[in-house]
Amino acid sequence: MTEKGGGAPAARAVLQQCLQATLQVKPADEGSEAQFVQIDRGLVMYICFFKGATDDILPKMVSTLLNLRLSESDSGKLVSILELPGSLLIVPQATLGGKAKGRAMQYHNNISKEDGLRLYSSFVALCEKELMAAAAAPARTGAEVTVKHGTYGNRQVLKLDTNGPYTHLMEF
């Protein structure tokens, strides 16, 4: 669960494999309908950064998450999202940083909204880069890889269809 020795984590991720997932990226308003992104088979990553998190953790975090064997292949073998090959839906999820105080959840350890947005954007960009590189590798020609992601700070209206979410927690 924790990749760091001892200290408080800088980031937390919850991971669920899916058959399909749909996420709202823009709520409906007077002028337009709500907008959604969708992935088929792949991995949903809920991501939260804590106070003190910096860009330094991102390369290892992305590499670990994309290479961990968290998905089931057609043959039932566990493979990484890079090997599946599958799609990735990244969901900013600040609530993951919550800590119970009495009956309420508090988020005092969460990163500031501004820094969180910056790290989240870099995280998404790095995932896109790695997945695209993997898809372009000679052995993979033609593999379909998609990275979709929610918009930071918005409500993450999510629909998830799984064949067993196989929920994992990782901290960095």
Phi, psi of 133 (to 5 degrees): -60, -40
Range 8-37, binding a copy of itself (CB under 8 A):
12, 14
In whole angstroms, how close is the CB of 143 to a copy of itself at the nearest point?
A: 19
**Pick 1 or 139: Cβ nearer a copy of itself:** 1
Residue 80 binding a copy of itself, by CB under 8 A: yes
Q: Rounded to an integer, what distance in angstroms lies between the CA atom of residue 51 and that of residue 166?
A: 28
Spatial contact of 130 and 140, defined as CB atoms under 8 Å apart: no
Is there binding between residue 40 and a copy of itself (CB under 8 A)?
Answer: no
Angle 113-136/58-67 helices, nearest 10 degrees?
Answer: 50
Identify the residue among 53, 96, 124, 147 touching a copy of itself (CB under 8 A). 96
> Which of the residues 104 through 163 are near a copy of itself (CB under 8 A)?
104-105, 155-163
Taking the C-alpha atoms of residue 117 and residue 74, their distance in angstroms, rounded to an integer, is 36
Residue 58, H or E segment: helix 58-67
Q: 137-141 — which CB contacts under 8 Å span 24+ positions? A: 140/85
- 103 counts as binding a copy of itself under rule CB under 8 A: yes
CB of 156 to a copy of itself, least distance (A): 5
> Using CB under 8 A as the criterion, which residues of the chain lie in contact with a copy of itself when the complex forms?
1, 3, 12, 14, 46, 64, 67-70, 78, 80, 93, 95-96, 98-100, 103-105, 155-170
